[in-house]
Amino acid sequence: MQKRLIEVRRLGRFGYAEGLELQNLLEREVVEKREKDYFLLLEHPHTYTVGRRAKMDGVLATKEILKTLGAEVYETNRGGKVTYHGIGQIVGYPIISLSPEREDVHKYVRDLEEVVIRSLADFGIESFRIENLTGVHTRMGKIAAIGVHLRRWVTTHGFALNVNTDLSFFNWIISCEGEPVTTMDRILGREIDLREVEDVIIKNFAAVFGYENIQASEKVLTVEI
C-alpha cells in the first residue's frame, strides 16, 4: 500500500467562512493530487450551520436575536440538519481521500464517532452511539455532532465536540433530532483545556484511521500513513 501523508493544522479561533474556504481549497488539492491528506482542528466563533436535510426554519432566532448573540448562519453542503458551532467547542475537519481502500460512507462516519468515543474515554467520560442517529451521546445528552460531505471520495466537514460550550446557544435552533445536549465540562465539573483535548483527538484519529508517527505538535505537523 502506498504511503500517504497527513498534515494536521491546529488553527485556534477561526472564522466559519474562512474555514469553509480553506476546506474547499484543500479538498481541490486532495482530489487532484491524492498525495497528502489534511486534518483541521479549530474553534469557530458563534455560528449556526444548516445541513442538506434541514430548512432555515430550524433556526429559531430572528435577525435581531442573531445580532444580539453575535452569531451568523450558513447553509452548507454537509449532511445532517441544523447545529451550532462556537467558543469552547472543538471542530474537526478531516480532508482525506477514502479511495480506494475506505470507500464506505457509513464506515467513515462510524470511524469519526469512534475517534470521539475513545477521546472521551481518555477523560473518563462514557459515551456511545444511538441506533439510527449520527453523533456521540452520553447519559446527560448528545456531546458531539457529525455531518460530512464527500466529493470523489474526498471528505470535508466532520465533527463538533462540546468541551466548554455555552449550551444556551442551542436554545435558538432545532438541533439534529431535537435531543438534549451536554458538554465535557458539565460532566466532569471543571473547565478543560482545549489543547489537551486536541492532543487526545489527534492520538485517537491516528489509531482509528491508521496513521503513524504522530508526535507532539505545534500549529502544523506532518505524518505518514
Provide the H-helix boundaries in 70-179: 105-122
Catalytic residue among 176, 184, 187, 214: 176
Q: Say which residue the cell 447519559 belongs to.
A: 139
Q: Which helix (H) or strand (E) holds 37?
A: strand 36-43
Q: Are 47 and 21 in contact (CB under 8 A)?
A: no
Instruction: Specify whether the CB–CB gap between 59 and 50 falls below 8 A.
Output: yes
Q: Are 92 and 161 in contact (CB under 8 A)?
A: yes
- Cβ–Cβ under 8 Å, residues 10 and 201: no
Instruction: For residue 18, give the H/E element and its range.
Output: helix 16-33
Q: What 8-state DSSP symbol labels residue 59?
A: B
**How far, CA to CA in Å, does 165 sit from each of 85, 86, 90?**
9, 7, 9
> Residue 225 and residue 219: Cα distance in Å, rounded?
20
Q: Identify the CA nearest to 180 among candidates 141, 132, 145.
A: 141
**For this structure, is 176 an active site residue?**
yes
Task: State the cell numbers at 174.
Answer: 432545532
Q: Length of the chain in residues, anyone?
A: 225
Residues marked active site are found at 176
